[in-house]
Amino acid sequence: MSSPSARHAPLLVEGVRKEFRRQRTTVTALSGVDLSASPGEFIVIMGASGSGKSTLLHAMAGLTDLDAGRVVINGQDLSLLNDAQLTKFRGQQIGLVFQAFNLLPSLSAEDNIRLPAPPESGLNEKVAGLLQRLNIAERRSHKPGALSGGEQQRVAIARALVCDPAILLADEPTGSLDYDAGQQICQILHELSREQGRTIVAVTHEPNVAMWADRVVVMRDGRNIAEFSPGGSRDPQEVASHYQGLLRQPLETV
Ligand SMILES: Nc1ncnc2c1ncn2[C@@H]1O[C@H](COP(=O)(O)OP(=O)(O)OP(=O)(O)O)[C@@H](O)[C@H]1O
């Protein structure tokens, strides 16, 4: 296992291909995806349902075997790791956030955040800092059932960051939230990329999420066909029309 270092790009996706075989048919979910992220970059992946967004995010997290290509996180080619090494590497270097929060209902917010971290000196301070940063310090003793959706997602983000990963991957992080709570989560992701140099990749359908990104990557039929920068205007309509325009173009002209 090569030792990851800060000199490496946090994320490199090269020629990734993924097929799902069902009885007599084969679905090509990803057909040759190349993508890289810079330190502190906030990338959003958009695309129609079935275009391969979640499969790509799972590939980045080493959660799915690839038919071709490779994913390199912070200098480590995931395909070179065995299952145990991959699980350990994921725990240390890849933060995961899902639409459904996936918190343990029997644990307090604080204990959910603490869960993936090895007991070490400084952990209490780290957890306290995350509770503070994510504006949930006053909710630290509450169990998930007593928290709002937005608070639960902030706990999930804190939990994903407690091991100080090289990259944070979020699958539809606002999908279960109302507009205001979703915007708060987007603002937090944006600020984390700026303040901590945290590299973040999020999948979404929503232009009002994509407008917070540094770069929007557009997926179609298993390929990343185009990308654009939403700029600083935070105008969801502008992002939506840019995105729709790219989807309408014939593939060979994009
Ligand atoms: N486990 C699986 N078994 C078989 N086919 C799958 C599996 N996972 C995904 N697929 C197929 O791969 C393609 C890409 O799916 P994926 O979930 O990555 O798309 P998506 O863009 O994330 O869609 P959505 O926005 O609806 O979540 C789809 O045709 C899907 O049906």
Q: What is the pTM of this model?
A: 0.93
CB of 52 within 6 A of ligand 1: the answer is: yes
Ligand 1 atom at minimal distance to the Cα of residue 219: 21
Which architecture, in CATH terms, is 11-248? Answer: 3-Layer(aba) Sandwich (3.40)
CA distances for 219 relative to 36, 94, 153, 251, angstroms: 15, 22, 25, 11
Query: What pLDDT, on the 0 to 100 scale, is given for residue 129?
Result: 95
DSSP state of 4: P
Residue ranges covered by each domain of the chain: 11-248
Q: Is the dihedral angle over the CA atoms 251, 42, 118, 8 positive or is it negative?
A: positive
Query: What pLDDT, on the 0 to 100 scale, is given for residue 2?
Result: 45
Ligand 1 atom at minimal distance to the Cα of residue 55: 18
Q: Which mutation among 16, 28, 54 tests ligand 1's pocket best, with the greatest number of atoms within 8 A of CB? A: 54
CB of 223 within 6 A of ligand 1: the answer is: no
For residue 23, pLDDT beyond 60: yes
Query: 34-65: per-residue pLDDT in tens?
Result: 999 999 999 999 999 999 999 999 999 999 99
CA of 28 to the centre of ligand 1 (A): 9
Distance CA 73, CA 163 (A): 15
Ligand 1 atom at minimal distance to the Cα of residue 30: 14
Averaged pLDDT for residues 179-185: 95
